[in-house]
Structure formats: structure tokens, C-alpha cells
Amino acid sequence: MRNKRAARRLALRYLAAVAVTILFLFPIYWLFMISFKTPDEIFHYPPVWWPHAIQFANYGVLFKDGDVTAARLTAEANAHPQTPEEIAQAQATVALQKPGKPDIFVQLGHSALVSTVAISPDGRYALSGSSDKTLKLWDLATGRAIRTFKGHSQLVSSVAFSPDGKMIASGSHEQVVKLWDVGTGNLIRSFVGHRNTIHSVAFSPDRQYLASASGDRTVGIWNIVTGQEVQVLRGHSDSVDSVAFSPDGRYLASGSQDNTINLWRWK
């Protein structure tokens, strides 16, 4: 009986020693790992979740993933090695949120959570989409809401200005993309075809096409003038949460909950 008690005490001591060792060594291992990240990994620890936002830069594709502290730069095939200046530009482009007070003011006016925002190309206006089913246009000089866009029946999940700032696009949980006139607030047309939530919308640089990313695992490309869906890009195995055109309009990048980014040459 005494031997069994002694063996049990010995086993408990052994387990306690293992636990203490793990707790002591893990911080050291973590510091060691983040000290030897590869050049293409910027703030890439812990491991990346699915990409939530994506955009093109002059030196590659930037995206922000499900870990809000993480960002990663995927360089183009022939891109030169990243310099400290490029890394600093990447950090500024991703615009990781820092604690502190707003630089100017807080915009109020929606009756429910604000899910998406965009700034006009000329920097004069902000656009917000909300779960109150509306979009609001704000004058950044005065902080006043100058126009409300109504027409969605569910949460507005994405908004974007056209390159000339004269139109805006919005995507929502009702599986519809809408195109609006900024000057009048009127709805120009709706784009119907997706079978799940619209997570992201983007204008092509020539203002002729609109791309939409959806929970149905596809990216739709729409002709703004005719309202027709000209292409459906399939290749993701899970919801597509973000989409962006390259500056020359020849390529599209899409980020998905399947943990991948796809680069498409669509025209």
C-alpha cells in the first residue's frame, strides 16, 4: 500500500515538473520563433487565419487576416527583396489599428453597428454601411451626414467609391450589389446573381466594371453600363471575403476563408 502511494506521489511530482517546464520554455520558444521570421512574413505570428481584406500595392499584394495584429506581404514573382522602407510602407498601407483617441472626430448617425467604411478619392467624403440597412455619406470637413442611401433589406457589408467619386457600390447580406449616384442619392441599378452574402465590392480603374466577392465561393464581375454579369471566377473552396483590382485593371486578387489568395488574369 505504501509503495502504491509513493508511486502515485512520484507520478504527480513528475507531471508537475513537466508542466512547469513547458510554461517556462514556451515564452522562450515564442521569442526565438518570431526573431527568425522569413522576409515575406510581417507580423505573421500566430499563424494566419483567412484573409479579411486585400489590396494591391506597387510591390505586390497586401492583405490583413483574421488575426487583427497580423499582416502579410506577398511579393510579385519578380519583385525585388523587401527593404525597411517597403516594410514601413506595408505597415502604413495595412493601417493596423493603434490605441488612442480619434485624430479628428467620431461620426455618429447610424442606429446600429457600422460594418464598412470608405473614403472618397478626393478625400472630402466618407461613406459608411451599417446593419441598420443604410449607407451614409459624410462631409469630412464638417463631420455632418449629408446623404442617406436606403434600399437594402439587410446588413450592408461592403461599400466602395468609383475612381472618379461619382458613384458608389454596396454589397449586403441580401446577396445583392447596388450601384448609387453620389450626387443625387438615387439607385442606378442592382446586380443580382450571387447565392450568398456579398462580403466585398470593388470598382475597376476604368470605372467600367464592378467586382463582388461572396459567401457562395465566387467572384462576380459586372458591366456597370449594362448591368450584366460578364464573368464568374470560381476556384475558392470557401467563402470569398475580399476582392481588389490591380492598378492597371488586368488582374483581380481575392481572399477567402479557405486561407488562400487567388490572383486572376480576367481580361
Chain segment 76-97, per-residue pLDDT in tens: 333 444 444 544 444 444 444 4
Total number of residues shown for the chain:
267
**Distance separating alpha carbons of residues 165 and 184, to the nearest angstrom:** 13
Instruction: Write out the CATH class of domain 51-265.
Output: mainly beta
**Distance separating alpha carbons of residues 181 and 149, to the nearest angstrom:** 10
Chain segment 16-30, per-residue pLDDT in tens: 676 666 666 655 554
Q: What is the 3-state secondary structure (H, E, C) of 116-169?
A: EEEECCCCCEEEEEECCCEEEEEECCCCEEEEEEECCCCCEEEEEECCCCCEEE
What's this model's pTM, rounded to 2 decimal places? 0.64
Chain segment 228-244, per-residue pLDDT in tens: 999 999 999 999 999 99
